[in-house]
Amino acid sequence: GAVVSQHPSRVICKSGTSVKIECRSLDFQATTMFWYRQFPKQSLMLMATSNEGSKATYEQGVEKDKFLINHASLTLSTLTVTSAHPEDSSFYICSARLGYEQFFGPGTRLTVL
């Protein structure tokens, strides 16, 4: 089956630092990956669509300078939370598109102190 991994699974950082989260499609190539944010007891909120070799497309209200996305290869997309603040603490989930379906990573729990 199609497997998507994320690294790290959990990260704690100090306010003002930057954090990079990796999303990899392990057994398929994905020209399109997606980044979601999930708040406790809430749904997944799409942050941006990551396209291999081109700029990411951000959803309304998502700061592109704060959430930097790079999709440098067909199996890897990265999300960098720059100058993280406590309000950025959340569960970040990526997915990779294969055909009409999306396969989800296990998520990364970010805690900003």
Partner 1 sequence: AQSVSQHNHHVILSEAASLELGCNYSYGGTVNLFWYVQYPGQHLQLLLKYFSGDPLVKGIKGFEAEFIKSKFSFNLRKPSVQWSDTAEYFCAVNAPRDDKIIFGKGTRLHILP
CA distance 38 to 16: 21
Identified binder of partner 1 from the candidate list 14, 61, 87, 100, rule CB under 8 A: 100
Q: How many residues does the chain have?
A: 113
Of 13-21, 61-69, 71-79, 92-100, the segment contacting partner 1 by CB under 8 A is 92-100
Query: Which residues, 15 to 74, sit near partner 1 by CB under 8 A?
Result: 32, 34, 41-44, 46, 49
Smallest gap from Cβ 14 to partner 1, in A, equals 27
* Count of residues engaged in binding partner 1, rule: CB under 8 A: 19
Identified binder of partner 1 from the candidate list 93, 96, 110, 112, rule CB under 8 A: 93
> Could you count the other beta carbons within 10 Å of the beta carbon of residue 6?
18
Residue located via tokens 């909120």: 45
SS3 assignment for 24-81:
EECCCCCCEEEEEEECCCCCEEEEEEEECCCCCEECCCCCCCCEEEEEEECCEEEEEE
Nearest residue (CB) to partner 1, 82 versus 102: 102
Binding site for partner 1 (CB under 8 A): 32, 34, 41-44, 46, 49, 93, 95, 97, 100-107
